[in-house]
Structure 1
Amino acid sequence: MDGAGYVPRMVDSLLSELVTQLPALLMVGPRATGKTTTARRLARSTVRLDRPVEAAAFRADPDTALRALPEPVLLDEWQEVPDVLGAVKRAVDDDPRPGRFLLTGSVMADLETRTWPGTGRVVRLPLYGLTVREADRRSPGTLFIDRLATAELDALTVPADPPDLLGYIELALRGGFPDTVLRLSGLARRAWLAGYLDQLVTRDAQHVESRRDPDRLRRYVEALALTTAAVTTDETIVRAANLDRRTVVAYERLMTNLFVLDQIPAWSTQRLQRLVKRPKRYLVDSSLLGAALRATPRAVLRDGHLLGRVIDTFVVAQIRPELALSPLEPRLYHLRQEDGRREIDLLIELGGDQVVALEIKATAAPTTSDARHLVWLRDQLEERFVAGAVLHTGPRAFRIDDRVFALPISTLWG
């Protein structure tokens, strides 16, 4: 049952459906994004493995400890007692009934190894911070990606009260962590985010890879904040953080394993030549950009370079949760030619070899010039190009060209 204060998540219906058919589910994502709260609604037993008293039995004999609990069992912060994964595997092998185990965690490292015991037995489901749609308790409705794929302007509804540019910046720096969205504001919110970063570069990082220097890691996170939403080389980060390349590569792996850094790969096709192959790096939540750089909304408004990074990172944070939910099975990419002449901020590849594409602009009055790369891509891909949109900070939605629209960013949660 929903608690009185529970904020419905877009993933809820899918999670409920999967529990009725699969024996074990693992919810992964950044720390403090609501994984435990969401999963606990479906569990009869909850074990907090980050609490030494509760973890003791699972360290001693995880198989026996599991058998003693009413199912479904929620094992929160599984990475604190990694042997629990082996116990879940053995339990599922012996009895593959659906709805037996829910696991939550904020570390990716062990999930990427070939020896991970959950392969083929534990299905992963990502959960990120609250989107604006969720925070405002708007009806889930149809996902933005699915609406855009209709290529119909009438399907792309704009809310009655769209933000202005400053409003979008404030939403971005608020971010998606439930505490910062639902409980805190002003100085308390900034203090919470500063504390989040402190724990990230000290306790969380040490848990995954020991002997990491918190001061050097903090410089790396600040460099990420300065370059989020950009196609950058390792050398750019090396200079920005004043670190050697080997350290930067190690920190990149670490932040990816902690679900703080997301890399969107470059798209490739035989129809287009000389495309950049480097990924775009994104901080997974736009509030971390503001916290790392101690940036206020007014400061972002005065810095055109930073403004673009903030808006771009915010938009991707609204779209990322849809990837696991859309029946179109979307995959997220970016596109950029080596000479920089053509660039698409986000290219979403759909099933059936079709694509939709997005440009993100911090302008209230987009023009045909803002859509020129989308029109070029449409002409290159012909029938593979379903629709494109310039997401902007103004209030109006309108058609720019055939299958190319100008849409307020708020259309994402319309």
Structure 2
Amino acid sequence: MTFLEPWVMATLRRDMGDPCCGDGRAYLPAYLGDDRVPYSWGKTTLLRQLEACRGGTYLTLDDGTLRAAAHADPEVFVADGPRPMLIDEIRRGGDDLVLAIKASVDRSPGRGQFVLAGSTRFLATPSLSESLAGRAAIIDVWPFAQQELAGGTTSFLSRAFEEPESFRTTAQSSCGRADYFDLIARGFFPEVIAMRSELARAEWYDSYVQSIIDTDIREMAKVDEAGNLRQLLRLAAAATAQELNMVKTAGDLGLHRTTVSRYLGLLETVFLVHSLPAWSRNLNARAVRRPKVHITDTGLAAHLLSVDAEGLGARVAPARGALVETFIVNELAKQATWSPFRVNLFHWRLSQGAEVDLVVERTNGRVIGVEAKATDAVDLRDFKGLTTLRDSLGDQFVHGFVLHTGRRSLSFGDRLTALPISALWDR
């Protein structure tokens, strides 16, 4: 079985967009009906499509013969074949191959010579001496967004910044609590979306984590104790949507704090977790405050926490709020990758207690705030953090949204609106 995971593509000397869609992002509607399953689009499929649309040479270093040739004579390997050269699983080529690619680009600096793909942020791995800085554009591709799966065409972020008042007249959502919990527990990897068996999904997640930790991380970082990484990943899942207490985590694992910090960086490198930095108008404060940690896929987080959709809907469900927040943060992080304008994502918390789960800031300084609520009923108290943020920013605060599991959109006054979570993908 081929595991399709989040991957990073480095495109040398050019801006990368999807050649067939033409809109700069990988958009693909997929269907979940009884007689249809979604198309599994991983990095290999996308590279093959690039080859079909634009020509060039596709090579995968999973092929032992090609890998041996790349190691034996990397300069000849990258010189042979029409451009663009599309190299899959580039991390298996090692430092000498990356240096050969750098030398080739420096000799002939035309754009679009190489497209490099891998299941890790391979250019940041400790085993490489060359990052291709200034020569590569890096694109992180997440698991599917629900907007893609639903066939949506309008980005929530675009609408939230440009026409936020339009959300006040949004039709009643067709999604209810159980629908959201099903999405969260299932996850968004291409492989698991096609699986109707909960047992099959669980087995896939087990194999996926084992493969990433035992193969990818050990290969790139020479980590001897894989059990500590697995345990750290479980602790990160238990702390998803929270600021991870590194001192306590180090104590729980019996490891030094610097080792835990290094291991957490490795889990980010292989796309199992991602960090949401703290937001502040004071850039120094922004740099030193603790980030929140989020598991990259809620299905993986639910699996690590041993909770299913029914468990999330139980009267007492400790993981429910955190997983709903992570689901919303991940959906908006995915949309940010194809936003028509650049945005940065943060969380915000004051020592006095006001906080906002997600602050989205444009480079022009304008801000929207998003609160996640795992409840059907919303009242003015749920807007406390957003109200504080609005009042402190004035005109630079565009709008604040509380996303909840109910079905109705409701106005709560000046630039404050409660929305069903499905507003992230419904028009």
Using structure 1 for the length normalisation, give the TM-score: 0.86
Quote the residue 2:201 is aligned against: 189
The one of 297, 303, 325 aligned to 1:312? 325
Higher mean C-alpha deviation, range 159-168 or range 93-102: 159-168
The answer as to whether partners of 2:123 and 2:132 remain within 8 angstroms in 1 is: no
Kept in 2, the 8 Å contact 1:168–1:393? The answer is yes
Superposed CA deviations along residues 90-132 of structure 1, whole A, max 9, x for unmatched, are 2222223333221112223633789525211111111010011
**8 Å Cα contact 1:110-1:116 kept in structure 2:** yes
1:14-413 aligned at under 5 Å gives the runs: 15-16=17-18, 34-43=42-51, 44=55, 45-82=57-94, 83-108=96-121, 110-111=123-124, 115-136=129-150, 138-139=151-152, 141-154=153-166, 162-241=174-253, 243-270=255-282, 277-302=289-314, 303-339=316-352, 341-413=353-425
Change (3 A) 1:233 1:92: same
The worse-fitting range, judged by mean Cα deviation, of 205-214 and 168-177 is: 205-214
- CA distance 1:353–1:237, shift in 2 (3 Å): same
Amino acid at match of 2:49: R
Give the unaligned 5+ runs of structure 2.
1-8, 10-14, 23-39
Distance between the aligned counterparts of 1:116 and 1:387, measured in 2? 43
Q: Which amino acid aligns with 1:214?
A: A
Seen in structure 2, the aligned counterparts of structure 1 residues 166 and 50 have a Cα distance that, compared at 3 Å, is same
User: More displaced, 353-362 or 39-48?
Assistant: 39-48
Change (3 A) 1:246 1:93: closer
Give 2:329's aligned amino acid: V
Segment drifting more, 232-241 vs 371-380: 232-241
Distance 1:112 1:346, change over 3 A: farther
CA contact (8 A) 2:125 2:221 kept: no
SS at match of 1:359: strand
Q: Distance in 2 between matches of 1:235 and 1:94?
A: 48
SS for the counterpart of 1:168 is helix
Query: Conserved in 2, the CA contact under 8 Å of 1:33 and 1:127?
Result: no
- Between the aligned partners of 1:212 and 1:251, the Cα distance in structure 2 is 12
Aligned residues: 390
Shift of 1:343: 0.7
Flag the 1:107–1:270 CA change in 2: closer, same or farther, 3 A.
closer
Query: Partners of 1:80 and 1:364 in 2: how far apart?
Result: 49
Q: Do the aligned partners of 2:154 and 2:425 also contact (CA within 8 Å) in 1?
A: no
Q: Deviations over 1:338-391 (max 9, x none)?
A: 24x111000011121111110000011211111121112101110110111001
Amino acid at match of 1:144: F
| 8 Å Cα contact 1:222-1:241 kept in structure 2 | no
- Judging changes above 3 Å, is the alpha-carbon distance between structure 1 residues 244 and 194 closer, same or farther for their aligned structure 2 residues? same
User: Identity of counterpart residues, as a percentage?
Assistant: 30
Which amino acid is 1:314 matched to? F
1:326 Cα deviation (Å)?
Answer: 1.7
- The answer to whether the 8 A contact 2:213-2:229 is kept is yes
SS at match of 1:149: helix
Q: TM-score scaled by structure 2?
A: 0.83
Q: Distance in 2 between matches of 1:274 and 1:47?
A: 42
The letter for the 2-side match of 1:128 is W
Distance 2:338 2:124 in 1: 21
Distance 1:211 1:124 in 2: 26
Moved more, 125-134 or 243-252: 243-252
Query: Which amino acid in the other structure matches residue 133 of structure 1?
Result: Q
RMSD: 3.0
Residue identity opposite 1:343 in structure 2: E
